[in-house]
Amino acid sequence: MSEDNNKDFFLPLRNLFQESLIRDIIIFTFIFILVNTQGWVDIFLLLFPLVTFGFSLFFRIINSNKWRTEFENSYIIYNPLGLEKKHANRLTFSALVQLILIFWLGAESLYNPHLVEGYFIYFNLLFFFSFSFGFFWVFIDVWKYSRIEIISDEDNNGNIPKYKSNNRSNKGNVISSLNIQNVRIISITNFLGFIILNIINTILTLFIFFNPSLGIPLILPGTGSLGSEPIKISLIFYILLIISPLLTAISLFLNYRDINKFQKEKLDKIIKSFPPNIQIQIMENLKGINEKIKKQMKIE
């Protein structure tokens, strides 16, 4: 490998920032600054959109720069985590909704502090739902797009088509997709986690509404104005901040591990229809994806 190729192998930090990534950061930062101008002392609620947006950035960076790490004229579609662009869009939307809800709550506590306690129950339920649903949303259709696939179609000039990253797929050329058992585990676990957490939060919110002493105080920007007191949230909020991201991380790991497993016999059967030189290119492309696939193919 030449020195120039060695330099091209490493991705400069400046190349990570695509237009979509910069757009998300600007919008999120702008609304985040607006929220902070309200004078929040207790920043606990702000951790929720920050965590959600952090996951969104992870997927956005992968999606925006995926083409940089692929081989030129590669015949491989490699989506071990599904469609990263769709995940990033969903999580960004969820983070922005959370920021808007926080801004609304902070503004009302400043201008109508005597009314906050009355409608905080609605904020509580909406905010909890938006955070938990954002992480659950990632796995609603992840099984449709998580795959390793061999591209067989070429245009009239013999070039590989440019739809590699979308959901168009030749099922006959898919060498690896999510195992049905793992699909059920990931889907059911995330669905039950989402439903159970929201049910528990609803019940605890109602208990705290009628008996505020059961809740944990949360200071708002307008707390103290007109004799207003801190609002009360349940302990489940602290559990949610840990459980939802952790459940997502574990599910993504299972997703990644499952996609990187495939039968060598199935691969051999698929590439038989390709010319010998293309077969070699496909094998080399697969070998270069990661060590797990290289081991799976038993290539030294």
Give per-residue pLDDT as tens, 219-246.
Answer: 999 888 877 788 899 999 999 999 999 9
| pLDDT score recorded for residue 13 | 55
Model confidence at 14, pLDDT cuts 50, 70, 90, reads low
pTM: 0.84
| pLDDT score recorded for residue 300 | 44
More confident residue, 161 or 243: 243
Q: What is the arithmetic mean of pLDDT over 11-27?
A: 75
In a domain, 247, yes or no: yes
In a domain, 202, yes or no: yes
Q: How many helices (H) and strands (E) does the chain have?
A: 11, 5
In a domain, 9, yes or no: no
| pLDDT score recorded for residue 93 | 97
Percent of the chain exceeding pLDDT 90 equals 43
Q: What is the arithmetic mean of pLDDT over 174-182?
A: 85
SS3 content of the chain, % helix, strand, coil (to 5): 70, 5, 25
In a domain, 2, yes or no: no
In a domain, 1, yes or no: no
**Which 3 state secondary structure label does DSSP give 219?**
coil
In a domain, 40, yes or no: yes
DSSP, res 218: E
In a domain, 3, yes or no: no
The answer, yes or no, to whether residue 147 has pLDDT greater than 70, is yes
Token output for 159: 């070039």
| pLDDT score recorded for residue 101 | 96
Render 6-44 in DSSP notation, one character per residue. Answer: HHHHS--GGGG--HHHHHHHHHHHHHHHHHHTT--S--G
Q: Which amino acid is at 167?
A: N
Q: What is the dihedral of CA 147, 151, 155, 159, to 10 degrees?
A: 110
Token output for 265: 């016999």
Residue 224 contacts by C-beta under 8 Å, 6 or more apart in sequence? 113
Say how many domains are in the chain: 1
In a domain, 256, yes or no: yes
* pLDDT tens-digit map of 90-102: 999 999 999 999 9
Domain range for 41 is 18-296
